[in-house]
Amino acid sequence: MNFAYKKHILIFVKFIVTMALFLLIAQNVELKRIFTILDDFDTVFFLLAVAILLLQTMIATIRWRIVLSEIKVEFSFTRVLSFLWIGLFFNQALPSSVGGDAFRGYCVYKNGYSIGKSSLGVLLDRMFGMVGLVVLIVASLPLMFDLINDKEIQWGVVFVIMSVFSAISSSLMLDLLPKKMAHSRIIQGLFAFSKEGRRQILSIYPGVTLMVVSIVIHSISIIAVVVLSKGMSLDLEWHNMLFIVPFVTLASAIPISIAGWGVREGIMVVSLGYLGVVPEQALVLSILYGVLMLVSSIPGLIIWLKGDYSSSNK
């Protein structure tokens, strides 16, 4: 079975999972009520949320530029912004929520850097994003325990967090394995990521700085969702969503559905139910958030189509 065939099978499986999740959710909602909620939605709040996510993209650009600079990959702010926007668009347009990372690495590579450095810069940025996400989720666990009294869900959340933490920790210790194991370029690349990742994350700068920036980035996502909820006249406050939105982001990154669709909606419907939000409202809010991320990433599509990513001008 060749790689292309396996890839098509994987995409098909993700499509089936996405459809199955939406069908499962559909059993608990009234379609007519969903259209009524959408009709009553104040689009001014959507535009405000778009502006908020554009600000988030600027801050994410700062984070990635710092990461790249630490490995001697130098670009202007606008150049890094263009690469990041391309990645954000393909994160939404491709079946996998991490597909855009490959395009980010490709953009760096097309501007004269090695595949190794291009991949390393993206992996390190993704790592800091994930670390900031885990820190935010752990800090909000007391809120989760107050919000959700189902022990199985509580332990399930803790298990997911511990699994992600273990995966990150393990990835940062790979280079401590016997050097003779680095028999391929991929393994050598993982060893390089481990060594550089550990160096950065254990430092005040850039480590602590990048983690704080990552927490700010994820906090902006929370604000964007709250703004969308105001357009639906929902009584949700920032602290109500402090656990829900980061956990939804984490779960959506698991590559089991098309760009996280279905997974995000399922978790939003269940978790917002504990806040008294009816399934139809929770589903609409989640879909609006998904559309919001797609709309705010459209500049990436424009940049990609114009070909403004492979110039030698850094």
Asked whether residue 58 is domain-assigned, the answer is yes
Please name which of 252, 307, 300 lies closest in space to residue 60, comparing C-alpha atoms: 300
- Please report the pLDDT score of residue 314 as a whole number: 58
**DSSP annotation string for 280-298:** HHHHHHHHHHHHHHHHHTH
Rounded average pLDDT per 10-residue block, the chain, 314 residues: 72 91 92 95 98 98 98 97 96 76 94 95 97 96 90 92 95 90 85 96 96 98 97 90 95 88 94 94 97 97 88 56
Domain extent for 50: 3-306
**DSSP annotation string for 210-264:** HHHHHHHHHHHHHHHHHHHHHHTT----GGGGTTHHHHHHHHHTSTTSGGGTTHH
The domain tally of the chain equals 1
Please name which of 240, 239, 230 lies closest in space to residue 272, comparing C-alpha atoms: 240
Asked whether residue 21 is domain-assigned, the answer is yes
Asked whether residue 52 is domain-assigned, the answer is yes
Asked whether residue 313 is domain-assigned, the answer is no
Tokens of 276: 């008294």
Assess whether the previous peptide bond of 299 is cis (omega < 30° from 0): no
- Please report the pLDDT score of residue 311 as a whole number: 61
Give the C-alpha separation, 306 to 314, whole Å: 17
- Amino acid at position 63, single letter: R
Tokens of 158: 């803790």
- Amino acid at position 80, single letter: V
Angle CA(205)–CA(210)–CA(215) in degrees, nearest 5?
145
Asked whether residue 311 is domain-assigned, the answer is no
Tokens of 225: 């969702």
- Please report the pLDDT score of residue 61 as a whole number: 98
Instruction: Say which residues have a Cβ less than 8 Å from residue 146's Cβ, sequence separation at least 6.
Output: none
Instruction: Say which residues have a Cβ less than 8 Å from residue 226's Cβ, sequence separation at least 6.
Output: 236, 237, 238, 241
Asked whether residue 8 is domain-assigned, the answer is yes
- Please report the pLDDT score of residue 185 as a whole number: 85
Residue listed under structure tokens 């499962």: 24
Give the C-alpha separation, 245 to 201, whole Å: 24
- Please report the pLDDT score of residue 1 as a whole number: 55
Q: Using the Cα atoms of residue 10, residue 158, residue 156 and residue 252 in order, give the sign of their dihedral.
A: negative
Asked whether residue 265 is domain-assigned, the answer is yes
Q: What is the pTM of this model?
A: 0.93
Asked whether residue 312 is domain-assigned, the answer is no
